[in-house]
Structure 1
Amino acid sequence: MSVRVPPGAARLHAGAYVADTHNDLLCAVVARPSEQWGTFFAERWLPQLTDGGIDLQVLPVFVDDTHRSEGALRQTMRMIEAAHRLAEQNARTVALCGDGTELDAAASSGRIALVLALEGAHGIGDDVALLHTMFRLGVRVASLAHFGRGAFADGSGEDAAGSRLTRAGVRAVAEMERLGMLFDVSHLGAAGVDHVLEIAQRPVIATHSSARALLDHHRNLRDEPIRMIASAGGVVCVNFFAPFLHGEDRSVDRLVDHLEHLAAVAGIDQVGIGPDFVKEVLEETTAPCCRVTDVEGVPADAYLPGLEGPSGLPLLTAALLRRGWAEADIRAVLGGNVRRLFREQLGVPPTPFVREDE
């Protein structure tokens, strides 16, 4: 491992199943010529995932403003193709997975399981039928909005509008549940989260959201939705981005505060990690003259020391041990809970409803 932690923490982390539900590394991959996708991943990202002990990596397909709206579908398809190529070209070390059987096969062979996710679904407009196309291509998790307004719903940056899902958004939730695609509420506006939880018939996930009770930021979740997600069998995965954790203190202890709050509200078995490691992605994809300098007025380079990328994940395990967490609870939060949810839900059609009198 590339970071130094006490031997006990190192052993625990190495033996745990670690699931990261949000890393935008595909954005950095597709910024290069297509013939370099597989090798760039192998040289730049695979060592970091290995150092971090990651066993399951969710790969968001995110389309930024420069590709909207005319180029959104094309960029979506490029990113999905990049994921397939990097998996094929690194087949000894990673595997693109679509269901629990494939996740287990990856684990038993010592490979990192990769799971494709749509972040914002900008590439499909309001065409619900294209969710089936995305599913055919391997997508197993999807959110319907980012910061702004979309065809299916409003993102959290539009909370003042108080918007619920559009009619197309309601149909999208039903289609995702029919397919066995997990709905992601991260980035969705507060009213939209409430709406989803009213109509959802299957568990949902928050892939990278922290606790609003600890920091009142629109990207964080309120306690009541956290409870509802947990009670329905879903998982809330904490975001490591420092401006979403604390106003001033950029430390791993503030991250643990959010994990402890989520565990207290949702229960230890419904909490995971979705670090959102964006530092290197932003450096790779944005020219120095044009880099984002702030998010909601907070410096965008305010990352947790040592946790700027996947290699630092053992530091979280060490911090949890210092706080007195039980090893079983640490294993659950590091990835056991997400693995259980994914094995139960990904690619699995819903159980048919049978009337008792039939």
Structure 2
Amino acid sequence: MTALHDEALVADLHNDLILLVDHFDHRGRTDYFGEFWLPELHAGGVNVQVLPVFIDEQFQSEGALRRTLLLVERIHRLAEQYPQTTVCRTGADVARATADGRIALVIALEGAHALGQDPALIRTMERVGVRVVSLAHLGRTLLADGSGVDDSACGGLTPQGLEVLAEMERLGIVYDISHLGVAGVEDVLEHARRPLLATHSACRAVTDIHRNLTDAQLKGIADLGGVIGVAAAIPPFIDPGRPTVARVVDHIEHLASVTSIDAIALGPDFIDDYYQDVHGGWVVPGMDVTWADSELRRPSDLPRITEEMAERGFPDADIKKVLGGNAMRVFDEVMGVPATTRTP
């Protein structure tokens, strides 16, 4: 690990590791996090880990709420099981945890299938510690359309989805725009009043895929004071034929050119091990899965981004912003901080 990376605060805005923890729990390996992920996080210098709760297709209707709460509970028990980690509800909690040398865990929902069409449940999620939420995955929910259905439908946020957005801002839950379809992104950028995140996205101008964001969308996020986490570990988002560290930094450079260095973070989406261990390979409905292996497969590879940015002449202060400083600014301003007013 480089000295610069070692001294920086490193925030990963998206790692689905709780899915693998749950998978191995049911196979008698209840210390899988300690055996595999904890060493990886330490090797990558990760100080802040956002843990999204993703709901597999078989649970997305009747079983979504139960499955979500079980995984949220597993994250809380994870922190009890490993005192090197702690669940954080505010930016101040994160600062205290990292100052004490612990890994700050932030609970997120990816797709928010558990809410169904009941906006009141976002308050329930806030009570159990959820602090980052997206309203759709690849497909359609009762709150919004995901980007995977943009070719066949182009729905924005439903009335309930708009209500959830407003309530999230009131409560101090950070909105995650990743996975949202084009019309939904427009709705959020029109109605949002607080900084938000794209936890794991990249630049459509660099790699043209529906999951990436256009320059106009990137600028809209930055104009709100928001931050885009670069999905560095996902080959089709970075470059299907050449998913290298260099191409990841190409996306970072493009982001800096169309927004500013203050709008960039890391959301690698280290999910390759999940697909390999659970499914025997990548299976993503609606996406071509023929791509090269990423050079960034696990958290221990993160220092390579720091090295590449340094080699290209990024100032140390800017590299530290990308590694974690920018994400922390959003957490400090929004996470667990209720809005006192909401201007029209």
Query: TM over 0.5, yes or no?
Result: yes
2:112 counterpart residue number: 121
Cα-to-partner distance string for 1:23-77 (whole Å, 9 max, x where unaligned): 0001111113379676221111110000000010000000011222121111111
For the residue of structure 2 that corresponds to 1:98, the secondary structure is: coil
Cα distance in 2 for partners of 1:254, 1:291 equals 21
Cα distance in 2 for partners of 1:171, 1:353 equals 13
Number of matched pairs: 341
Cα-to-partner distance string for 1:269-295 (whole Å, 9 max, x where unaligned): 111010001111212322x3x752786
2:245 counterpart residue number: 252
2:156 counterpart residue number: 164
Q: Residues 149-298 of structure 1 correspond to what in structure 2 (within 5 A)?
A: 149-160=140-151, 161-240=153-232, 241-286=234-279, 288=280, 292=283, 296-298=287-289
2:11 counterpart residue number: 19
1:4 counterpart residue number: none
* Structure 1 position 352, deviation (Å): 3.4
Q: Larger deviation: 28-37 or 164-173?
A: 28-37
Indicate yes or no: 2:320 matched with 1:331.
yes
Indicate yes or no: 2:125 matched with 1:137.
no
AA matched with 1:50: H
2:66 counterpart residue number: 74
AA matched with 1:244: F
1:7 counterpart residue number: none
Q: Contact 1:245–1:255 at 8 Å: present in 2 too?
A: yes
Cα distance in 2 for partners of 1:273, 1:341 equals 13
Relative distance call for 1:255 and 1:40 in structure 2 (3 A) is: same
Cα-to-partner distance string for 1:116-156 (whole Å, 9 max, x where unaligned): 00000012211111111111110000000000011000000
Report the aligned-residue RMSD. 1.8
Cα distance in 1 for partners of 2:73, 2:44 equals 25
For the residue of structure 1 that corresponds to 2:313, the secondary structure is: coil
Cα distance in 2 for partners of 1:293, 1:171 equals 30
Q: TM-score, normalised by structure 2?
A: 0.95
1:5 counterpart residue number: none
1:101 counterpart residue number: 92
Cα distance in 1 for partners of 2:20, 2:240 equals 28
2:294 counterpart residue number: 304
For the residue of structure 2 that corresponds to 1:227, the secondary structure is: helix
Q: Contact 1:211–1:258 at 8 Å: present in 2 too?
A: yes
AA matched with 2:218: I
* Structure 1 position 90, deviation (Å): 0.7
Relative distance call for 1:243 and 1:295 in structure 2 (3 A) is: farther
Relative distance call for 1:34 and 1:95 in structure 2 (3 A) is: farther
Cα distance in 2 for partners of 1:294, 1:164 equals 21
Q: TM-score, normalised by structure 1?
A: 0.91
AA matched with 1:205: L
1:6 counterpart residue number: none
Relative distance call for 1:83 and 1:293 in structure 2 (3 A) is: closer
Q: Contact 2:272–2:282 at 8 Å: present in 1 too?
A: no
AA matched with 1:54: V
Cα distance in 2 for partners of 1:209, 1:312 equals 18
AA matched with 2:211: R
Cα distance in 2 for partners of 1:77, 1:37 equals 21
Relative distance call for 1:215 and 1:30 in structure 2 (3 A) is: same
Q: Contact 1:117–1:139 at 8 Å: present in 2 too?
A: yes
Q: Contact 1:182–1:205 at 8 Å: present in 2 too?
A: yes
* Structure 1 position 247, deviation (Å): 4.0
Segments of 4+ moved more than 4 angstroms = 34-38
Relative distance call for 1:353 and 1:295 in structure 2 (3 A) is: closer
Q: Contact 1:37–1:85 at 8 Å: present in 2 too?
A: no
For the residue of structure 1 that corresponds to 2:24, the secondary structure is: coil
Indicate yes or no: 2:138 matched with 1:147.
yes
Relative distance call for 1:293 and 1:140 in structure 2 (3 A) is: closer
Indicate yes or no: 2:303 matched with 1:314.
yes
